[in-house]
Structure 1
Amino acid sequence: MNDHYLKKLDRVTAILTQLQSKPIVRAQDLAQKFDVSVRTIYRDIKTLENAGIPIIGEAGSGYSLMDGYKLPPVMFTKEEVLSFIAAEKLMQKFLHESLGSHYQTAMEKVRSVLKYSDKNLIENIEKQIDVFNYHAKTEDNLRNVIPIILESIAEKKQLTMEYKTMDSKISTRTIEAVGVFFEFNYWYIWAYCLLRNDFRQFRVDRILQIIKTQNSFLQEYGQINEYKRNGDGNKTKVRLLVDRKIINYLANSKKYYGLIEEVDTENGVELTFETEWINDGFPRWLITFADYATILEPESLQVKLHDLIHKISNKHT
């Protein structure tokens, strides 16, 4: 069998996997994924139909498997099996505990369809992979909190919750959840808050009670990364000149605080930010390397940093 037919066999098999995992698949998306023409995808779909796979749809729209059609258990390559082991180790450290038991059940199902040799491979290699996490694990007040949130997003139903703020006050909120995200060792909800009439993020471990209502969303929302990237528009431009010998130590945090441009100059590295935390978060971050940085703009940040340093100095003298 020549390379052409091997590539076609791999692609047709992969298309079948796509049909199994998604409610509808567009030919254009498949063509882009496999780097072939749409016409080639049409021929591949015809190959599957000729093999007896009941596919619903037609050229120009989308394809799906006939409802109720069952396929034999999928087989995994050795490389895929090894990737499962590494992913499982990561999930054990970072997966939210409300999803942990569900993930474990899913992995048991995956293991059940592995060949005997692959099961031996897992047994021999899984103790040789570990993920070291030096942050304390957060504890939730509720069980199954993230599944409830995800259900509300899928069904577009509002949530009501009791939430403990940073100053330990209890607040009752009605929200329309856009998505969940993991950042700096905490899980958060990004949501539209009906109390504040604005977007807010809520730390999941501070939720004391949560209920999915039967009230539908009042508006449509985009993808969570669009909101995290764009914010609410109330941003301040900041320019810093930073000593290049410490720039590598800011590799991750500078993006979190809104880095939009980085220019290497004769006098150091000029960093430009658009930040929403000009009043508190940004100056507190800046103070950690302020002896290696010069504030180019805005002047108000110089005042905030000076006041913060003065406050710290008075407290510890």
Structure 2
Amino acid sequence: MNRFDRITAILIQLQSRKIVKAQDLAERFEISLRTVYRDMNTLAEAGVPIIGEAGVGYSIMDGYRLPPVMFTKEEARTFITAEKLMEKFTDLSTKSHYQSAMFKVKSVLKSAEKNLLEDMEQHIEVRQKYKPFNPTLNNTLEILLKSVADKKVVRMRYSAFNTEETTERQIEPLGIYHENNYWYVVAYCLLRTSYRNFRTDRISHIELTETIFSKQHASLKEHMDSLPKLENLELIVIRAKKHIMPYIQNDKYLHGFVSEKKSGDEFEISFLVASVESFLRWFVMFADFARIVQPEALKDKLKKRLTTILENLSIP
């Protein structure tokens, strides 16, 4: 970042908070405190009404605004919620860009609204159950979105589900979507010569190439709308004890959850399932507090599965 861009960014950050410490600026922009002091003098000489108090920090005289945009308190509160979600469910690069945008948004708020946001930050928390990205990567979404915008091929290493094999792929992304705690990219795979879904946490390496897309693709929305609806889904009904429900609430959506109703100290839950085998493996995790209502064939499969488990336990 050159000096002009840094000073502009410092001005925006000063407008986004009531008080900004010199140490915070030094850490964010990776500069020395001496450089921070020089940048502050530059802003003051340019006519920005900066107030500095030793041991406290810097602030800008109330009423000084650059952008001619104002937000309501209700709109301002939604920024905090969005910021919390961005922190947990996007990659490091996207989160950084969003934080930079938020500094610009906050810079147009009055002191009262800034105080409100700083207080609300302590009252909103987003819990994350799964890691949506490979921990070795920090710019997965940024590269995928740049690929969509520039129509350039992405090269990546990918591990498919239920296999330890990693393959080299070149893909032409249509777009990204978030579902069940994970980010997915829908793309035309040059290796398989067909459209595929890739889960971002299974990508171990990703880079943007200079190769232009081999063909013109529909938008993500058009592609998703054109997909045939799932057929031959099997209805499964179970009954689960009330106290076990909190432990299966999140994962039930991954297994075709349709509805549930309370019946005494149990809940009757219905699913439309594409993979009975996958559902059965999940059901075994809490089968001691639940039972299968239908279909009868699933009960027989469960008995065989439990018999195999007992046999494996008896093997020395």
Question: TM (normalized to structure 2)?
Answer: 0.61
Change (3 A) 1:209 1:255: closer
1:264-283 CA-to-partner distances (Å, cap 9, x unmatched) read 7899765443333323x211
1:187 corresponds to which of 178, 183, 206: 183
Q: CA offset at residue 245 of structure 1?
A: 3.4
Give the whole-Å Cα distance in 2 for the aligned partners of 1:266 and 1:120. Answer: 48
Take 2:89 and 2:216, find their aligned partners in 1: how far apart are those partners?
33
Q: 2:17 matched to which residue of 1?
A: none
Distance in 1 (alpha carbons) for counterparts of 2:245 and 2:291: 14
Cα distance change of structure 1 residues 134 and 149 upon mapping to structure 2, 3 Å threshold: closer
Alpha-carbon distance in structure 1 between the residues aligned to 2:258 and 2:179: 19
1:305 aligns with 2:289: no
1:279-307, Cα deviation, whole Å (9 max, x unpaired):
3x2111121333422252372x4454334
CA contact (8 A) 2:169 2:189 kept: yes
Q: Flag the 1:120–1:265 CA change in 2: closer, same or farther, 3 A.
A: closer
Letter of the 2:204 partner, please give it: I
Q: 1:257 aligns with which of 247, 255, 258?
A: 255
Determine the structure 2 residue equivalent to 1:84.
Answer: 79
Report the counterpart of residue 110 of structure 1 in structure 2.
105
**Cα gap change, 1:264 to 1:142, in 2 (>3 Å):** closer
- 1:142 pairs with 137, 154, 172, which one? 137
Q: Secondary structure, in 3 states, of the residue corresponding to 1:315?
A: helix
What is the DSSP-based 3-state SS (H/G/I as helix, E as strand, rest coil) of the residue aligned with 1:133?
Answer: coil
Equivalence for 1:159: 154
Return the alpha-carbon distance in structure 2 between the equivalents of residues 203 and 239 of structure 1.
Answer: 30
Contact preservation (8 Å) 1:150, 1:179: yes
Say if 1:174 and 1:276 are closer, same or farther in 2 by CA, change over 3 A.
Answer: farther
User: Relative contact order (alpha carbons < 8 A, sep ≥ 6): 1 or 2 greater?
Assistant: 2
Deviations 1:88-142 (A, max 9, x none): 233223332231111111111112222233223334x145224153647555333
Query: Counterpart in 1 of 2:167?
Result: 171
Q: Displacement, 1:234?
A: 6.1
Quick one: which amino acid aligns to residue 106 of structure 1? A
* Distance verdict in 2 for CA 1:302–1:191, change over 3 Å: farther
Contact 1:93 1:131 in 2 (8 A): no
Counterparts in 2 of 1:231 and 1:187: CA distance versus 1, 3 Å: farther
Deviation digits for residues 20-48 of structure 1, max 9, x if unmatched? xxxxxxxxxxxxxxxxxxxxxxxxxxxxx
Q: Could you tell me how far apart the structure 2 residues matched to 1:94 and 1:246 are? A: 29
Cα 1:287–1:198 change in 2 (3 A) is farther
AA aligned to 1:129 is H
- Structure 1's 103 and 252: CA in aligned 2 closer, same or farther, altered over 3 A? same
Give the aligned residue type for 1:176: E
Q: Cα–Cα, structure 1 residues 260 and 240, in superposed 2: closer, same or farther, change >3 Å?
A: same
Mapped to 1, the partners of 2:219 and 2:207 lie a distance apart of 21
The structural deviation recorded for 1:225 is 10
SS at match of 2:213: strand
Structure 2: which 5+ runs fail to align?
1-65
Q: 2:125 aligns with which of 113, 127, 131?
A: 131
1:184-224 per-position Cα deviation (integer Å, ceiling 9, x unaligned):
54433233434343533323353313334311445424429
Which consecutive unaligned segments of at least 5 residues does structure 1 have?
1-70
CA distance in 1, matches of 2:120, 2:223: 33
Secondary structure in 2 matching 1:114: coil
1:131-175: CA deviations, max 9, x gaps?
A: 153647555333422111112234454433221345432202233
Cα 1:110–1:119 shift into 2, 3 Å: same
Cα pair distance change 1:97/1:72, threshold 3 Å: closer
Normalised TM-score (structure 1)? 0.61
Taking structure 1 as reference, are residues 88 and 144 closer, same or farther at Cα in structure 2, changes over 3 Å only? same
1:285 paired residue among 282, 286, 296: 282
CA displacement at 1:260 relative to structure 2 = 3.8
RMSD: 3.8
Matched, 1:100 2:95: yes
Which residue of the partner structure matches residue 294 of structure 2?
296
Distance (Å, rounded) in 2 between the aligned partners of 1:87 and 1:116: 21
Tell me how far apart the structure 2 counterparts of residues 85 and 266 of structure 1 sit (CA, whole Å): 41
Matched residues, number: 243
